[in-house]
Amino acid sequence: MNDTHDAGVPDAREQLAGLNFALLLVGPDLSIREANPAAESLSGQSARRLVRRRLLDVVQVDDERIGAKLVEDEAEFVARGVEGRIEGRPLVLTVGVSMLVNHPGWRMVTLAEGGPSEARAEDQSARGLRAPAVLAHEIKNPLASLKGNAQLLASTLDEGKPKQKAVRVVDEAVRLEKLVADLLAFVRTGELDRAPTPPARLVPDGVEVDAGAAPATWSLDEARMRQVISNLVENGQAAGGPVTVRIAAEDARLVIEVADHGPGVPAEDKERIFEPFFTKKTRGTGLGLAIARRIVESHGGTIVVRDGTSGGAVFRIEIPEA
C-alpha cells in the first residue's frame, strides 16, 4: 500500500477508523487481516483478537447461498436482511463484499445492523411517504460501502488521473449520502421532544440575532428546530449574506425571521420552494425547506417566505404556545 499522502489529509487507516459501519479486510486465505473500530464494536472483540481468524468463524449467516458467496472468488454483492450471527450474537445484517483491484483474492467485507425490517418500521410511521423511505434505506448501506472502498482506493493511488477519478467517486458518494440523509429526515415522524428552550439558542454561532423582544423560553423540540434554523441560515448565506435573525413573541406566538440579502424568491416559487425535491440549485436535494416546513408544522406552526424591505428574502416562522 502506498502511504504517501498530502499533509493534513487522513491516511487510509484514519479513513477506515472513521467509517460508521463494520469493515473487514480479508486475505486470499479467507482470514481477517484488518478490522476497523466499527467492526470491533459490532463483534465485541478487539481488532487484535479478530485478525488472523477465519472470516466464517466470526461471521455466520443462515442463508447457505450468501455464506458461499462470502468466500467465493471474485464474488461481489450486497445482501440486505440477512439473518446470522457475529461471534454467536444473533443479528439481522446488511452484508457487502467487494474485491480489491490488482490484489487477487483480497476482499472488503462490510457489515451493518438492520435490513428491510428496519426500513419497514420507519416506513409505516410515515404513510404516504413509503417510496422515499424504502429508497433511502435500500441505498444507504451499499452507498456507504462504495464510498469506503473509493476512499481506500484514492488513498493508495499516486497523483494523476486515476486518483482524480477515485476522488470524484468519493465526492459523488458524499453528495448522495446527503440526499439519503435528507430523505430519511423528511420521512421521520414520532413524538416531539418538547421542553422549555431559549429560542436564541437555536441560532448558529456567528449569526447576528435581534432577540430584544424574544421570550425567555418556548416549548420546542430543540434539536429539530435547531435543524430548521441552521438550514435557513445556510440557504441565506448561499443566497447572499449577511444573514440576520429576529426573534420575538407576538400575539402568543413565537416568531422567528431569517433574512438574507440575496436576489429573493420569485413570486411563482414562494410556495413551491417548500415542496419536496423542488430546487434550482445545481447540487441541491430540494428537501431542506420541505423538512423545515414538516418540523414547524409538527409544532403546530407555519413557515412562509416574503420579500425583504431592502431586498432579499425573509423566512418567517410562527409557533403557537404548546
Model confidence at 139: pLDDT above 60 = yes
Q: Helix (H, G, I), strand (E, B), or coil: what is residue 182? A: helix
* CB 157, CB 166: distance < 8 Å: yes
The strands making up 208-213's β-sheet, listed across from edge to edge, are 208-213, 244-250, 253-259, 313-320, 302-307
Residue 134's CATH number: 3.30.450.20
CA torsion, points 158, 161, 167, 172, in degrees to nearest 10? -170
Model confidence at 214: pLDDT above 90 = yes
Q: Kindly state whether residues 267 and 231 are assigned to the same domain.
A: yes
Distance CA 174, CA 151 (A): 11
What pLDDT, in 10s, does the model give residues 33-83?
999 888 888 888 888 999 999 999 999 998 888 888 888 877 788 888 888
Q: Kindly state whether residues 162 and 212 are assigned to the same domain.
A: no
As beta bridge partners, residue 201 has: none
Q: How many domains does the chain have?
A: 2
Q: Kindly state whether residues 48 and 122 are assigned to the same domain.
A: yes
How crowded is residue 313: how many other Cβ atoms within 10 Å of its Cβ? 23
Is 247 inside a domain boundary? yes
Q: Kindly state whether residues 117 and 60 are assigned to the same domain.
A: yes
**Higher-pLDDT residue of 133, 274:** 274
Is 112 inside a domain boundary? yes
Distance CA 2, CA 72 (A): 27
What pLDDT, in 10s, does the model give residues 159-172?
888 888 888 888 88
Q: Kindly state whether residues 145 and 217 are assigned to the same domain.
A: no
Q: Kindly state whether residues 282 and 315 are assigned to the same domain.
A: yes
What pLDDT, in 10s, does the model give residues 217-260?
999 999 889 989 999 999 999 888 799 999 999 999 999 999 99
Type of residue found at 252: A
Write the burial class of residue 299 (CB in 10 Å: 0-12 exposed, 13-18 middle, 19+ buried): buried
Average pLDDT taken over every residue of the chain: 83
Given 155, 187, 219, which residue is the final one in a domain? 187
* CB 222, CB 289: distance < 8 Å: no
Model confidence at 307: pLDDT above 90 = yes
Q: Kindly state whether residues 168 and 22 are assigned to the same domain.
A: yes
**Higher-pLDDT residue of 188, 210:** 210
* CB 264, CB 313: distance < 8 Å: yes
What pLDDT, in 10s, does the model give residues 227-239?
899 999 999 998 8
**Higher-pLDDT residue of 211, 16:** 211
Model confidence at 4: pLDDT above 70 = no
* CB 147, CB 174: distance < 8 Å: yes
* CB 109, CB 99: distance < 8 Å: no
Helix (H) or strand (E) holding 315: strand 313-320
Average pLDDT over residues 9-33: 80
* Cell numbers linked to 2: 502506498
Residue numbers of the domain that contains 135: 12-187
Cα 262 off chain centre by: 28
Given 187, 216, 246, which residue is the final one in a domain? 187
Instruction: Give the predicted TM-score (pTM) of the model.
Output: 0.51
Residue 256's CATH number: 3.30.565.10
Provide the 8-state DSSP code for 70: H
pLDDT (0 to 100) of residue 137: 63
Average pLDDT over residues 205-222: 95
Distance CA 273, CA 178 (A): 19
**Higher-pLDDT residue of 155, 55:** 55
**Higher-pLDDT residue of 128, 36:** 36
pLDDT (0 to 100) of residue 177: 78
